[in-house]
Amino acid sequence: NPCQNGAECEQIANNFQCECRSGWTGKLCDVQFVTCATAALQKGVTVQQLCRNGGTCHSTDNTHTCTCSPGYEGSYCETEI
C-alpha cells in the first residue's frame, strides 16, 4: 500500500488513489494539513493570537494564511510597514 498515515488505497485501472484520513492530503496522504488551530497549538498560542497585530487566520488548501490589519505584513502580520 503506497498510501501513508492510515489512508486507504483504491485501485483504479492501472493506477491508484489514496483516500486520506482527516488532517492529511497529497497523492500519498503524506502532507499534513496545517490548519490555523494546528499551527496555533504548535506555537503554544490561541488561534486568535496566531496572527499578530489584529490579523485573522484562514485555513486554505493544506495550509493557513494570515490576513493582516492595515499597516502590517509578514507571514504572521509581525512586521509594521
- Residue bearing the bigger pLDDT, 1 or 51: 51
For 9-29, the pLDDT digits (tens) are 999 889 999 999 888 888 999
Res. 81 pLDDT band, cuts 50 70 90: very high
Class of domain 1-31: mainly beta
What is the domain partition of the chain in residue ranges?
Answer: 1-31, 34-70
- pLDDT surpassing 90 at residue 31: no
For 48-68, the pLDDT digits (tens) are 999 999 999 998 877 899 999
- Residue 67, Ramachandran bin (φ over 0: left; ψ between -120 and 50: alpha; else beta): beta
Q: Supply the pLDDT for residue 50.
A: 96
Q: Helices marked H in the chain — which ranges?
A: 36-43, 47-50
Q: Supply the pLDDT for residue 49.
A: 96
